[in-house]
Amino acid sequence: MAAIMMFEPQELYNLLNQSSRVSRLAEINFLCLVDARETQDYKVSHIITAKHAKTDSKGSFFLPEVVEVDSMQHVVIYDSNTSCSQEQSRAVQCARALSKVSLYPVHIVKGGFQRFSALYPFLRTEKILYNIMELENLQTYPVEIIAGLLYMGDQKQAMDSSISRDLKVSAVISISESNTLESLKVNQSILNIPVADSCSSDLYSSFEKICSFIGSYIKKGSRVLIVSRQGRSRCSAVTIAFLMFHLKYTLEEAWRYLLKCKPNMRPNSGFLEQLSDWELHIRGAKVTDISEPYF
């Protein structure tokens, strides 16, 4: 029987916005998201791509046959407002049923639909069925690094005004050789760091400037988005540098933290060396061994 664990809304938000070339929600075994509320509540509004868990005549939960829970990498359940796995709620009852067949931990969204939809109202929908093309073309948002304050994504997302509006982004840091964002008519502060995604490029000399820029916004509760062309190498290096600076993480701690938000993040080897130097600058010693296979 799989473990049952609580799941922060931010963690579900990041799962829903994982992508490679297209949204990972198009992968048949990536995410099983289950709405355990009453049928009428589900029909009015639910979290995007969620399947409704029905009950039989005895009140026991079951899922449609098309959902193969035992093959899913992530199983997530929510009801209206469950906040603890010890509650006798619909989400907990459903989680117990699914934990009997799931190979991975079953997660319950803390605060349920009420809390998630209050934080991310743009991820609510009435749509129930999706074909594969619709799933592949789902709009993905930048992942959330620090709840309600810091996001990381790609240049295309930064240029989408609807994303900036939904996330209430006040400032954008673009790690790019071009100044494409500066040509846009946007009501955001833009800091462009003209660095190529090359092992020989120098990001280190910009770390202090970037950390100061981000800090000045999040200190007053404003939201910052960090982007690079594909949202994998340059922006993840900068994000790790900020986590080391702001949260006093070691390089390894910041790396592991960011991997949970975006598993396919990957600073190039040159940037990794520079992050090791940054660790020395911040902590007075290189605590992290970057020769480990983990990196």
| pTM for this model (two decimals) | 0.94
In sequence order, which residues have a C-beta less than 8 Å from that of residue 237 and are 6 or more positions away? 203, 267, 268, 271, 272, 274, 275
Question: How many Å apart are CA 98 and CA 84, to the nearest integer?
Answer: 17
Q: How confident is the model at residue 109 (pLDDT cuts 50, 70, 90)?
A: very high
Is residue 293 situated within a structural domain?
no
Mean pLDDT, residues 137-164:
95
Q: How confident is the model at residue 183 (pLDDT cuts 50, 70, 90)?
A: low
Q: Do 154 and 271 share a domain, yes or no?
A: yes
Confidence of residue 182 (pLDDT cuts 50, 70, 90): low
Is the pLDDT confidence value at 153 over 90? yes
Smallest CA-to-CA distance from 33 within 18, 22, 20, 21 is with: 18
**52 within 8 A of 42, measured Cβ to Cβ:** yes
196 and 254 housed in the same domain: yes
6-25 pLDDT, tens per residue?
999 999 999 999 998 899 99
pLDDT tens, residue by residue, 241-281 = 999 999 999 999 999 999 999 999 999 999 999 999 999 99
From the list 255, 261, 263, the residue with the least C-alpha distance to 290 is 255
Residues β-bridged to residue 7? 109
- In DSSP terms, 109 is beta-bridged to 7
What CATH number does the domain containing 232 carry?
Answer: 3.90.190.10
Residues 153 and 114 in one domain: no
Q: What angle do CA 181, 184, 185 make, to 5 degrees?
A: 140
The pLDDT of residue 58: 80
- Identify the pLDDT of residue 180: 66
**Domain end call among 70, 101, 136:** 136
For residue 153, the enclosing domain spans: 143-283
In the chain, the number of structural domains is: 2
Specify if 294 maps to a domain.
no
pLDDT score of 64? 61
